[in-house]
Amino acid sequence: MKVIIAGAGETGTYLAQLLYKANKNIIIIDKNKDLLEYIDSHYDFLTKYGSSTSINDLNSIGINNADLFIALTQTEEANITSCILAKKLGAKKVIARIDNSEYLENDNERFFKELGIDSLIYPEILASEEIMNLINRTGASKTFTFAEGKLQLLAIKIKKDAPVLLKTLHEVTLEAGDLDFRAVAITRKNETIIPKGFNAFQEDDLFYVICNEQGIGKLMELSGKKQINVENIMIMGGSRIGLKTALKCEKRCRVKLVEKDRDKCEELSEKLTNTLVIHSDGRDTELLKEEGIEGTDIFIAVTGNSETNILACLHAKKLGVPKTIAEIENMDYLAVAEQMGIESVINKKTIASGHIYSHIMSKQVSSVQCLIGSDAEILEYTVRKGAKITKKKLMDINFPKKAIVGGVIRNDEVLIAKGDTLIEENDKVILFVLPEAIDKVNNFF
CA distance 131 to 237: 14
Strands (E), 44-159: 46-49, 68-71, 93-97, 119-121, 142-146, 151-157
Say if residue 106 is in the same domain as residue 10.
yes
Residue 294 CA, chain-centre distance (Å), reads: 29
Are 261 and 358 within one domain?
no
- The answer to whether position 261 is within a domain reads yes
Same domain, yes or no: 149 and 243? no
pLDDT value, residue 375: 66
Asked whether residue 391 is assigned to any structural domain, the reply reads yes
Per-residue pLDDT of the chain in tens (445 residues, 90 and over written 9): 899 999 999 889 989 988 887 778 999 999 999 999 999 999 989 999 999 999 999 999 999 999 999 999 999 999 999 999 999 999 999 999 999 888 888 778 788 999 999 999 999 998 999 999 899 888 888 888 877 777 888 888 888 889 998 999 889 888 877 778 888 888 887 788 888 889 899 988 888 899 888 888 888 888 888 888 899 999 999 999 999 999 999 999 999 999 999 999 999 999 999 999 999 887 778 888 888 888 999 999 999 899 999 999 998 999 999 999 999 988 788 878 877 878 889 998 888 887 887 777 656 676 677 676 666 788 888 899 999 999 999 999 999 988 999 999 998 888 999 889 999 999 999 998 887 888 889 899 8
Q: Are residues 278 and 344 in the same domain?
A: yes
The gap from C-alpha 233 to its chain's centroid, in whole angstroms, comes to 22
Judgement on whether residues 136 and 96 belong to the same structural domain of the protein: no
Task: Write down the pTM of the prediction.
Answer: 0.84
| Residue 101 belongs to a domain | yes
Can you tell me the distance from the alpha carbon of 131 to that of 246, in angstroms, rounded to the nearest whole number?
Answer: 11
Residue ranges of the alpha helices (H) in 89-195? 106-114, 123-136, 169-176
Q: Which of 349, 372, 405 is a domain's end point?
A: 349
* CATH number of the domain residue 328 falls in: 3.40.50.720
Q: Could you tell me which residues are beta bridge partners of residue 152? A: 145, 211
Compute the 3-state secondary structure of the chain and give helix, strand, coil in percent, each to the nearest 5: 40, 25, 35
Pairing of strands 181-188, 206-212: antiparallel
Phi (first) and psi of residue 396, to 5 degrees: -110, 0
178 and 190 belong to one structural domain: yes
| Domain enclosing residue 21, as ranges | 2-121
Nearest CA among 262, 267, 268 for reference residue 280: 262
363 vs 59, 359, 381, 430, 442, CA distance in Å? Answer: 28, 9, 9, 15, 10
Q: Would 166 be classed as within a structural domain?
A: yes
User: What pLDDT score was predicted for residue 426?
Assistant: 93
Q: Are residues 243 and 167 in the same domain?
A: no
Answer for the pair 222, 109: CB distance below 8 angstroms, yes or no.
no
> Does a structural domain hold residue 126?
no
Residues 212 and 317 in one domain: no
Contact in structure between 16 and 43 (CB atoms under 8 Å): yes
Strand order in the sheet with 68-71: 46-49, 25-30, 2-6, 68-71, 93-97, 119-121
Q: Are residues 146 and 186 in the same domain?
A: yes
Residue ending a domain, choose from 196, 223, 250: 223
Q: Are residues 314 and 255 in the same domain?
A: yes
- Of 121, 156, 185, the one marking the end of a domain is 121
In a domain, 21, yes or no: yes
Q: What is the pLDDT of residue 19?
A: 85
Same domain for 33 and 105, yes or no, is yes
DSSP for 306-371, written as a single string: HHHHHHHHHHHHHTT-SEEEEE---GGGHHHHHHTT-SEEE-HHHHHHHHHHGGGS-TTEEEEEEP
Same domain membership, residue 356 and residue 341? no
Distances (CA, A) of 48 to 42, 89, 95, 236, 353: 15, 18, 19, 39, 21
For the chain, the domain total comes to 4
pLDDT of the residue at 328: 93
Q: What is the CATH number of the domain that holds 175?
A: 3.30.70.1450
Question: Distance between CA atoms of 442 and 177, rounded to whole angstroms?
Answer: 33
Distances (CA, A) of 201 to 163, 172, 361, 373, 432: 10, 10, 33, 18, 18
| Residue/partner pairs of 326-333 with CB below 8 Å, 24 or more apart | 326/300, 326/301, 326/302, 327/127, 327/237, 327/239, 327/241, 327/301, 327/302, 327/303, 329/10, 330/306, 331/10, 331/14, 333/306, 333/307
Answer whether residue 438 is part of any domain. Answer: yes
